[in-house]
Amino acid sequence: MDDAQQTPRPFDIVVVPDGRVIGRKSRAFWRWVWALEDIGVFVAVVADDYDNTTTEGRKKMRRDADYAETEWETIRDRTQGGLQEKAELTPAAHIGGRAPYGYRIANKGTPGSYLVIDEDEAKVIKHVYDLVVGEGLNLRKATVRLISEGITARSGKTWTRDNLRDRIMSAPVLDATLVFRGKHAQRDEKGDPIWGDSVRIELPRILTEEQSEELRRKVAETAKHSSGKRWVYPLSGRVVSLCGKGHSGFGYAADREVARFYRCIGNGPKDLAQESCGCSRIDADALEKHVWKHVTAIVSDSERLQELAAEWIGMAAGDTAALVDRIADLDQQIEGMNASMAAVIVAAAKQSKSSDAIEAATAVLNEELQQLQNLRDEAAEWLAEMEESDRYARDLIALASMAKNSFPDMAPEQQAAILSMLELKVTITGPVPDDRRGGVPCTVRAWYAAAGLTVPAAALSDEEWARVAPLLPKGRGGTVRRSVDAIFYKARTGKSWPNVLKETGATIQASKHFNAWTSDGTWSRVNAAMADVEQVPLPELQLLPSMVIEGRVDPSAMLNAEERSRRECR
Ligand SMILES: [Zn+2]
């Protein structure tokens, strides 16, 4: 449709393989066909040989579409009537769709299907009640707890706070009711419901009325505590500063600008006698993205993890079979030794030797037996360790595939739970680049990022300058051209204004020009005029200091990733 409204029109006839692709079973079909006809585009449907370029074809199409619509209405009437009756008469009736969380469908697939409590899900609901009402957690913290306890949502995926809120704070769970039709009951002109009035379906209770009330109150209360914009800082308490202290997250929203940071707790100490450590704040989005990318890369790399695990345990995987053979062999030897000992004892007894004499006779054998036994014990222990590492390797593979599939778009609270399991620690080892701006991106970069534009790859040629000059005010002695070059240079390199001015020979006027030209639209026009010259993307932002990222998947395997990021920007 969008294409059809363009001038010149890119086509005159739309050919579709089958009426269904344009929604024959609904009014959408006609809206579509007529809208196209209005602008002189005709539709030909290949499968049914419709063609609305002819009167005959149009008639046929209308006939079929009308028929389809009548049919659809009959089906709708029939199902709606049946459902209404069922909602009114069957206790805890299941009126279609998925069962609400906490419930499952009994007699599924039969007309008499109804909802009963799903014991597993009810357990989760009661657990959340305990966490929120008992321990005073808010829903976000309760979500983190569920994730770290390995409790998943119905889909088998990890919980998110929004999903948990939708499932637990629902009318079926808290009020034990399900409203059929509800607000969506269609009404005619007189206001009477067309298909029947909405029906309240009573469900068996999971929480008592008092518990539901308490839960509702507590959730509202904990939500109010952290009023306004709520942000999660998955790395809070996990970042160690240059001065050796931890970081905590903080953020603000002002002038439509949202900023989140991690700040060293030695910065602005509560005890005024103490001096501030002077550590710079770190851009939270950049740091979280960087760390999470690392964690995902490392945890997804199952081979590397297994190598680490094998190294840690001090064994290569794969020789369990040899060890099992050795143990069997030792068992046989021990058995043989026991038999020989028995034979010696029997022989000595027959010769009526004293117990001292018997002991002396078996002493050597006994010593040998003890050695065999020790060897066997050692081998068995070794085997157990190897089996353990085997199991561990399998877990790692499972973890790796999970990381590959679900880490990239994990919600912050899920990230926080994973990072806590990994005991993740980030140690800052260098200064934050360009800390005079505290990580706020420069305005030139921000403008290009917001406009979604790339930057000319090289300085303007005389020919290119001639093209943009008419769009700009006249300057004296080439000031305007130097400003244009400087702004492009800054966008291309991400260097700071002082460096840009030094390297391009422009004056501080360049920065003023940029502000003026972006606010009156001049800079947009300049970029539009340059759209066909070779372009490069914006440079990567260097907001992060160098750092070491460490974590452990398990006491036996260390994740260790060292990352250095270079200083630069603006
Ligand atoms: Zn500090």
Predicted pLDDT at 200? 78
If asked whether residues 147 and 203 sit together in one domain, one would say yes
pLDDT in tens, 431-481: 877 644 544 457 788 888 888 888 998 888 999 999 999 999 988 878 899
Predicted pLDDT at 121? 95
CA 263 to ligand 1 centroid distance, Å:
8
If asked whether residues 64 and 117 sit together in one domain, one would say no
Whose CA is closest to 448, among 344, 530, 567, 553? 530
CA 417 to ligand 1 centroid distance, Å:
26
If asked whether residues 461 and 401 sit together in one domain, one would say no
* Residue 435 maps to a domain: no
- What is the C-alpha to C-alpha distance for residues 290 and 305, in angstroms, rounded to an integer? 20
In which order are the strands placed within the sheet that holds 282-283? 247-254, 257-264, 282-283
CA 242 to ligand 1 centroid distance, Å:
6
Beta-bridge mates of residue 155: none
CA 237 to ligand 1 centroid distance, Å:
13
CA 241 to ligand 1 centroid distance, Å:
5
If asked whether residues 332 and 250 sit together in one domain, one would say no
Residues of the chain with pLDDT below 50 are 1, 3-48, 68, 72, 75, 226-229, 312-317, 435-436, 438-440, 554-570
* Residue 314 maps to a domain: no
Strand-strand pairing, 455-456 and 247-254: unpaired
Task: Give me the residues near ligand 1 (ion), CB cutoff below 5 Å.
Answer: 241, 243, 245, 264, 266, 277, 279
Residue 282 identity (one-letter amino acid): I
CA 439 to ligand 1 centroid distance, Å:
16
Strand-strand pairing, 535-536 and 547-554: unpaired
* Residue 98 maps to a domain: no
If asked whether residues 221 and 243 sit together in one domain, one would say no
If asked whether residues 393 and 340 sit together in one domain, one would say yes
- What is the C-alpha to C-alpha distance for residues 99 and 106, in angstroms, rounded to an integer? 10
Predicted pLDDT at 41? 44
If asked whether residues 215 and 137 sit together in one domain, one would say yes
CA 445 to ligand 1 centroid distance, Å:
29
* Residue 374 maps to a domain: yes
CA 248 to ligand 1 centroid distance, Å:
11
Beta-bridge mates of residue 568: none
Predicted pLDDT at 407? 75
Predicted pLDDT at 206? 93
Structural domain boundaries enclosing 334: 320-408
Predicted pLDDT at 211? 92
* Residue 386 maps to a domain: yes
CA 247 to ligand 1 centroid distance, Å:
8
CA 240 to ligand 1 centroid distance, Å:
8
pLDDT in tens, 159-180: 888 888 888 888 889 988 887 7
- pTM of the predicted model as reported, rounded to 2 decimal places: 0.41
CA 419 to ligand 1 centroid distance, Å:
22
CA 251 to ligand 1 centroid distance, Å:
18
Please state the domain count of the chain: 5
Cβ neighbours of residue 175 under 8 Å, at least 6 residues apart? 212
* Residue 72 maps to a domain: yes
If asked whether residues 243 and 277 sit together in one domain, one would say yes
- What is the C-alpha to C-alpha distance for residues 185 and 194, in angstroms, rounded to an integer? 8
Last residue of a domain, one of 158, 190, 225: 225
**Coil, strand, or helix at residue 364?**
helix
CA 297 to ligand 1 centroid distance, Å:
29
